[in-house]
A and B are shown apart, each in its own frame.
Chain A
């Protein structure tokens, strides 16, 4: 990144201010980054650390799939397998998907999109990155301790998590610290949105990504403390032998499960809501159309945050609950599908009669809609009480949440990366290679996870090390899919890394976006705007788009 110099002209800069990568420095070298309170630099820090953890998680996922390519032992012992799927879950959830969009792109773009110079609490923002890194290392340190990493699954279910001899405590404490980091990010964003919107930027002139971050922030603040205290209680139980959840000491393991899911289901919406926000940003830009149903999309984010917090027990239909609780939670689960469907319909309606340009980011957005629809519908299947008993704890569930989390949020993250990469780094990647990578990712993804629906429906349990020969074919296809998917990941990231060094210089508005981030130079200057903008238009106003095109040409 050192190759980037002062830009003039076509990138939108007038040369009066240096971009954020080159503005005057307080510290030297790496300290200029890790002690920077600039929201853009913190966003990049999050991006680098998150992708590093993602790479580790992918390796674990790859090893798991390789083990499952044929029945019996293939490359590892059952105990190793248990530890690897636990680590895969902990890393992907707490270190990749939860911070993926809010902490990376939210940090970088939220202040720019609402016309602010920075977030409300820049130092707190830096602290939350530090907590993220510390939490990540604490969670992973068990890899190198005697006894090895936890083998409980990422859910840490009692009583096994107080009995196993593996290192559960580092994973618990790591997750606790990461939760704290996530809370601080949410708190920061909510305050930023309340206090720092530019003049004229009313609530309903905010870009939808900002709306989704606002909804996410509330979930982060109101749900995360529950899992914090729950994981802390398990750690205290292991440390001091306090009887709270362990049935041998009078505790109730089902109370643990409730507390765990009171957070961890809303956490699913912490993961998916910002991705929905990103899709709402991408689609109008590449369809050259004002988004359909702006207010509905904004309100549905809040509705998802609200209803999503009330459906946790649908993870526990087979555990033992009263019938009243069962149908109530089932009903609420169906209700939460409504705001999600509203969004999907609005996106599709935006595409209708649009001038669609299939740039890489748009391809990822379309893949999001496809995958999310499959993931969403299979979620409804699980919300039905009778069917839930049949597919509970099978690989059907694994396929479902990978369709939503990876096929949805994961593709959303890749889409955001391709959409905003030129703005963040001032360089353009090779679009053709990016599209090839997308083809690999899309096909590999379907091959990897769709067979798991079938195997699960036929009775393949999740988290199993070994299986009956009749499931072989589905596991085989799935493992081959994982190779294609990883090839796609390698192509995509190689392409982006090459672009960092050798990519063409990006113009200020390469895609024809109309939100505020496209009005400033690529990469942005230190405090984003030379003069705080005054907002008069709606966020996706494409009515004068033809004139804009002429100016560009």
Chain B
């Protein structure tokens, strides 16, 4: 433990990497349960409206979903590599990998944007007249689709912002070979975003 005392304010700088990681994992539990609540709702309605869900899921473009899955998986790889690179002392390599992760995150969002706007174009969005003509099971399906992928996209955006900060922290040396817990925790967050998508993809795109 490394403590320095600022004479003026007696504020001790307290560093505990294990503690920081425990805190991050606890936070990830809450995120998992936040989505867990939604998966529970999904499960109940899938049970109630099995046939409608199967029908409505055909509206989704499996190809775009697959591309996005690959993009996110690759981004998790580059994320992990940026941490390893920093731990081994190659700052520039680490920066490159963070940059690549940010690039993949943006790619995911752009894809998502085109996917959503295509749906909007077909009048399939909450509150639209066209959606209301569909059977109730399909209305629920699209409601869940927008809310769950939307909430996931929001997490991608938050992760993206965190990664941009990490990029500048690594660049300035605030996060470095000896103090990389922030980058590691950001990586954990990014993997969470990834793993939630791994569940969303089959539930919405693949199961018919």
- Verify B34–A229 contact, CB threshold 8 A: yes
Question: Is B49 on the interface with A (CB-CB < 8 A)?
Answer: yes
Could you tell me the distance between the alpha carbons of A226 and B37 in the complex, rounded to whole angstroms? 5
* CB closest residue in chain B, given A248: B136
Could you tell me the distance between the alpha carbons of A259 and B48 in the complex, rounded to whole angstroms? 17
How many A residues touch the partner, as a band?
A: 35 or more
B128-149 residues with Cβ-Cβ distance < 8 A to A are 135-137, 139-140, 143-144, 146-147
CB distance from A87 to the nearest CB of B (A): 26
Q: Mark A421-432, 1 if CB is under 8 A from B, else 0.
A: 000000000000
Partner-contacting stretch, out of B21-29, B108-116, B175-183: B21-29
Q: Mark A236-258, 1 if CB is under 8 A from B, else 0.
A: 10001111100001111001000
- Verify A527–B16 contact, CB threshold 8 A: no
Could you tell me the distance between the alpha carbons of A229 and B126 in the complex, rounded to whole angstroms? 18
A207-237 residues with Cβ-Cβ distance < 8 A to B are 221-226, 228-230, 233, 236
- Verify B137–A221 contact, CB threshold 8 A: no
Question: Is A24 on the interface with B (CB-CB < 8 A)?
Answer: yes
- Verify B126–A240 contact, CB threshold 8 A: yes
Our pick among A37, A187, A196, A262 for the contact of B23 (Cβ within 8 Å) is A187
Question: Is B207 on the interface with A (CB-CB < 8 A)?
Answer: no
Could you tell me the distance between the alpha carbons of A196 and B12 in the complex, rounded to whole angstroms? 14
* CB closest residue in chain A, given B31: A225
- Verify B44–A194 contact, CB threshold 8 A: no
CB-defined contacts of B136 to chain A, threshold 8 Å: 243, 249-250
CB-defined contacts of B117 to chain A, threshold 8 Å: none
Could you tell me the distance between the alpha carbons of A195 and B35 in the complex, rounded to whole angstroms? 28
* CB closest residue in chain B, given A25: B9
Name, among B12, B26, B29, B45, the residue most crowded by chain A CB atoms within 10 Å (CB to CB). Answer: B26
A-B contact count (CB 8 A): 112
Our pick among B36, B137, B144 for the contact of A226 (Cβ within 8 Å) is B36
CB-defined contacts of B41 to chain A, threshold 8 Å: 233, 244, 255, 259
- Verify A233–B31 contact, CB threshold 8 A: no
Could you tell me the distance between the alpha carbons of A151 and B33 in the complex, rounded to whole angstroms? 29
Question: Is B121 on the interface with A (CB-CB < 8 A)?
Answer: no
A1-41 residues with Cβ-Cβ distance < 8 A to B are 23-26, 37
CB distance from B204 to the nearest CB of A (A): 15
CB-defined contacts of A255 to chain B, threshold 8 Å: 41, 44-45
- Verify A117–B12 contact, CB threshold 8 A: yes
CB-defined contacts of A271 to chain B, threshold 8 Å: none
Could you tell me the distance between the alpha carbons of A194 and B26 in the complex, rounded to whole angstroms? 12
Query: With A191-B19, A226-B37, A259-B41 in contact, do A240 and B127 touch (Cβ < 8 Å)?
Result: yes
Question: Is A121 on the interface with B (CB-CB < 8 A)?
Answer: yes
Could you tell me the distance between the alpha carbons of A226 and B40 in the complex, rounded to whole angstroms? 10
- Verify A224–B10 contact, CB threshold 8 A: no
CB-defined contacts of B23 to chain A, threshold 8 Å: 120-121, 124, 187-188, 191
* CB closest residue in chain A, given B29: A221
CB-defined contacts of A262 to chain B, threshold 8 Å: 37
Question: Is A183 on the interface with B (CB-CB < 8 A)?
Answer: yes
Could you tell me the distance between the alpha carbons of A179 and B18 in the complex, rounded to whole angstroms? 26
Question: Is A190 on the interface with B (CB-CB < 8 A)?
Answer: yes
Can you list the 9 inter-chain pairs with the closest CB atoms, starting with the nearest? Answer: A250-B136, A241-B127, A225-B34, A195-B19, A242-B126, A229-B37, A242-B143, A225-B33, A250-B140
17 CB-based A-B contacts, threshold 8 Å: A24-B9, A37-B11, A117-B14, A183-B27, A183-B30, A191-B22, A195-B18, A225-B36, A233-B38, A250-B45, A251-B140, A251-B143, A255-B41, A255-B45, A259-B37, A259-B41, A527-B10
Report which A residues bind B (CB closer than 8 A): 23-26, 37, 117-118, 120-121, 124, 183, 186-188, 190-191, 194-196, 221-226, 228-230, 233, 236, 240-244, 249-252, 255, 259, 262, 526-527
